[in-house]
Each structure stands twice: as structure tokens, then as C-alpha cells.
Amino acid sequence: MDQSVKRSTSLDDPDPFDQLSGSELSPYRRFAASEWAAFRADTPLTLTEDEVKRLRSLNDPVDLDEVRRIYLSMSRLLYAHVEASQSLFEQRKRFLSVDEAIKTPFIIGIAGSVAVGKSTTARILKELLARWPSSPKVDLVTTDGFLLPNAVLREHGLMERKGFPESYDVSAVLKFLSAIKAGEQAVRAPIYSHMTYDVLPDEFITIDRPDILVFEGINVLQVRDLPEDGKMVPFVSDYFDFSIYIDAPEELIHDWYVTRFMQLRQTAFRDPRSFFHRYAELSETAALSIAEGLWSNINLRNLKENIQPTRPRADLILRKGSDHMVEEVLLRKL
């Protein structure tokens, strides 16, 4: 990956990505949120305020106005892409003179840092897409379930690198997406518990030939080193028909992460079953120190080394401001 696209570590230095994305050399068209909202056209609003509240994550203030401004235009754009993909599939069948009854699901990948709002985006999009007039079957899967079990991570000294590319069962991810793309029935995906901070043994969700699959995770746009002998090395993103990256300045993501951690001390962490229960009884100063350490030593490193460098690979980039709302949208040119 070209290191020139990484965000500058100093707030006083210009962001090379900003410089490129605003130039005639950029592969993206750039829109302010107000401009993007106009592309909604006549797309109906099919969610209620209560539904949005249910779909959003802790500390994510997205509301119905944000759905109108950003998500309805995204829904309209994705509808056009799905229709074009289905048309191309039919044309290819005629070209190859084959009569395949199996449909190929349209897969949308969503990437971005922890605490940036990926889960909220994924859940809202899933609901909006499922409410199109054609009533497509839409499923959502996150990569958390494909993390290696904690026992395996401990065995290999990877607990401090949980969420880094090497902490995932990439082979299982590729097999899952390959089966989905092949139109197989009853494809199983493992389940992850944020309460126990581990994969649940022998528990799965079953994905059965969806029209659209939303696949969300911090490193879904990650690439690997290519072999010198030219062997085929599949990437997770090879199975995507469209990809979205949720972006924000590092200092904002840091604030959101720490704020969320401190709020969880008063809620989920108080459950004795929680992996993080030990942090609930710490003083606020001690807990804040823990949160800052987790951010600096794990999440910030993962963002800078693995997640952020994949940003220019996305078809659509949503850039958030300090209020957690999208300020800019970058759409890859055709």
C-alpha cells in the first residue's frame, strides 16, 4: 500500500489524502453533506425516529435528519448499483450461453476504525435496503465472529493485537464469502460476544441466499503481500460489489473511543459476565488511564498501520466531523 495516503500524525501538517482528494488527480468526486443530501431525489424515508434510536450504537448521535441527509442518497445509489449488477449478470449468462438459476448476492463491505460508527451505518443501511419496493432479502454479518478464539490468541501471543489482520481466521472469512457468492444455501457464520470478548463456541448465524449482504469490519479492505510466483491470492474485498469507509480525524476517533469506554463502565462493564468487569470498579482516573493505554497501544496502532491505509480502496468514503455527523462524502469516479 502506498504510504503517501496515510493521515499525517501531526495536526499541523496537511493531510496528503486531503490534498489528493481535492485535486484533478483524485479518483473521487467530493461533496459537502448538503450537496449529497440533494441526491436523495424522491427516495422515501422508511425509518422512524424510534427505529433509528434502536439501530444506533452507544454514543452515536445519528438521528432521522442524518438519515435524510446522508443515508437516503446512499440507498438510492446502492439501488442503482444492485440493478446494474443484476443486469450485467443476466448479460453474462447470455454471453456464456448458460442457464443458471442461482442468483449472485450483492455484497457491500463497510470498513473503518473502532468507535467511528461502522455498526450504526451497517444496521441503518440494512434496514433501508430491505425496505426497497422490491423487498430484497438483506443480511448483515460482522467480522468479529471470524476473530480467532481468545485461547488461540493467547497461545500465539496475539491478545494485544486483537483486531489486527493476523488475529482473524482469514481462511474462514474467504470460505464464507466464496460460498455466499456461489449462491450456496445455509452458509454459517460464527458469532462473537462483546460481553465475553470472545467467539461463542459452536454458535452460528445462518445466511441463506440473500439478495444483498452487508459485511462490516475494521479490516475488510485489507490486502496482503502478493507472492512472487504469481499465484492467486484472494483478498476479502475481492468479493465486494461496493465498499464504504467511515472516516474521521484521529483525534476525534480517540475522543469517541475513550468516551464510549468510560460510559461502558457504568453499563455493560458492570455485568459480572463482562470480560471488562474489572474496569467497572476502578476509579475514574485509573479507568481513564486504561482507556488511553488501550487506544494508544492497540487501536491507534491498528488504525495507522492497517485500517487507514485501506481508505483509498473504498468506493465511497463518509467523513465525519466533531458532532459524529457526516460532513463530506467522497464517491469514486466511474
Annotated binding site for ATP: 112-119
Distance of alpha carbon 160 from alpha carbon 158, whole angstroms: 5
Distance of alpha carbon 66 from alpha carbon 72, whole angstroms: 9
Strand partners, 30: 330
Which amino acid, 155?
A: E
- For residues 329 and 70, is the Cβ–Cβ distance under 8 A? yes
Query: Taking the CA atoms of the chain, what radius of gyration do you get in angstroms?
Result: 20
Kindly list the distances between the CA atom of residue 33 and the CA atoms of 37, 55, 73, 133, in Å, as whole numbers in the listed order. Answer: 6, 21, 10, 26
Q: Is 260 exposed, middle or buried (0-12, 13-18, 19+ CB in 10 A)?
A: middle
